[in-house]
Amino acid sequence: MKTHLNVKAPSNILSGLFEEKKWISSKFLYDEQGSQLFEQITDLPEYYQTRTEARILLENLSTWKSVFHEPSALIELGSGSSKKTKILLDHVKNIESYIPIDISEEFLADTVTQLQTSYPEIHIQGVSADYTQPFTLPDLKGKKKVIFFPGSTIGNFEPGEAERFLGNIRSLLEPGDELILGVDRKKDETVIEAAYDDAAGVTAAFNKNLITRINREHEASIDVESFSHVAFYNSSAGRIEMHLESVRDQVLSVGGHTIEVKKQERIHTENSYKYDPEDIIQLGRSSGFLLQRVVSDEREYFSVCLMEVV
């Protein structure tokens, strides 16, 4: 299933720790343990995103039916276990091909095997790739292409990156093709902050797992409890930020280097941008998409945007 492999070697988990403002790219959150913790996050009472998006998908079937009004290929970016996709596959006709794209080759192979058993009539072709880097699609034989990018994953891109990324996706498409994009909305800060600092401490464990990962991969022995989880909404930037805050002055020994960390100094580990429809119109304008329809829950916590290629 290794048809179109195009993976860029990830930059080092340590590199940002040598900069003036320490940071670790959020992509390092998803090792095996981190991916499991994220799965747990999606079930938390405070983390409304996943269940809200699933409900929006399920409650707007007529919208998806009209998107797939002709023989189509559904292409999912970062498919994971394809849980939300099953809502589309179960209820919408005309999806003749399903192309899940995921960086984890092993996970992808398992998902493809399982899905092919459940949906024998759909042609399923996994692509193992880092979709944030340029990649190519298999020949889809003139079928309408619908890109599915759920989960508000777009929120992890910096605004300029999001533009460039969607511009790249646009270049894989032709007029008539569409994009279904899930976004977490701007809202009352206390609601957002609770979703990233849950009472059970799962998000804290998810964040601190970066330290565990550094210890494992770089033979370090940093005290995981010497950092605390900090999450706050930065309203001027329109994003929630996650940081690891040092509880004391300490010197980290990693990969043959020493890194000085002051008490209360923070390592920035994630940004998750929130998007309102105005922001999406803007993003579409600069990347070659026109916002066609927005479907949301009644509280407008989350939106699924339908965007057409212009």
Q: Does 178 bind ligand AVJ (CB under 6 A)?
A: no
Please give the helix or strand (H or E) that residue 54 lies within, else none. Answer: helix 49-59
Q: Is 178 helix (H, G, I), strand (E, B) or coil?
A: strand
Select 155 or 284, whichever has its Cβ closest to ligand AVJ: 155
Applying CB under 6 A, among 196, 233, 275, 301 the residue interacting with ligand AVJ is: 196
Question: Which structure tokens are listed for 110?
Answer: 């398992």
Applying CB under 6 A, among 52, 153, 209, 287 the residue interacting with ligand AVJ is: 153
Q: Does 270 bind ligand AVJ (CB under 6 A)?
A: yes
Smallest distance from ligand AVJ to CB 164, Å: 18
For 245-285, give the DSSP string: EESS-EEEEETTEEEEE-TT-EEEEEEEE---HHHHHHHHH
Point out the residue whose Cβ comes nearest to ligand AVJ. Answer: 272
Write phi, then psi, for 289 (nearest 5 degrees): -125, 150
In the region spanning residues 43 to 62, those forming contacts with ligand AVJ, defined by CB under 6 A, are 49
Q: Which of 280, 199, 217, 273 minimizes the C-alpha distance to 242?
A: 273
Q: Does 156 bind ligand AVJ (CB under 6 A)?
A: yes
Select 108 or 309, whichever has its Cβ closest to ligand AVJ: 108
Cβ partners under 8 Å of residue 180, min gap 6:
64, 67, 146, 147, 148, 149, 150, 304, 305, 306, 307
Select 152 or 209, whichever has its Cβ closest to ligand AVJ: 152
Q: Which range of residues in 54-62, 150-158, 171-179, 253-261 is near ligand AVJ by CB under 6 A?
A: 150-158
Select 47 or 68, whichever has its Cβ closest to ligand AVJ: 47
For residues 177 and 185, the answer to whether their CB atoms sit within 8 Å is: no
For residues 180 and 280, the answer to whether their CB atoms sit within 8 Å is: no
Select 169 or 240, whichever has its Cβ closest to ligand AVJ: 240
Smallest distance from ligand AVJ to CB 153, Å: 5
For 105-157, give the DSSP string: HHHHHHHHHHHHHH-TTSEE--EEB-TTS---PPP-TTPEEEEEE-TTGGGGS
Smallest distance from ligand AVJ to CB 87, Å: 18
Applying CB under 6 A, among 152, 209, 226, 246 the residue interacting with ligand AVJ is: 152
Cα(36)–Cα(21) distance, integer angstroms: 29
Cα(102)–Cα(79) distance, integer angstroms: 6
Q: Does 233 bind ligand AVJ (CB under 6 A)?
A: no
Please calculate the CA angle 51-56-59 and round it to the nearest 5 degrees: 120
Applying CB under 6 A, among 155, 183, 222, 280 the residue interacting with ligand AVJ is: 155
Select 68 or 227, whichever has its Cβ closest to ligand AVJ: 227
Q: Does 209 bind ligand AVJ (CB under 6 A)?
A: no
Q: Which range of residues in 65-73, 79-87, 95-103, 147-155 is near ligand AVJ by CB under 6 A?
A: 147-155
By the criterion CB under 6 A, which residues form the site for ligand AVJ? Answer: 41, 49, 151-153, 155-156, 196, 203, 270, 272
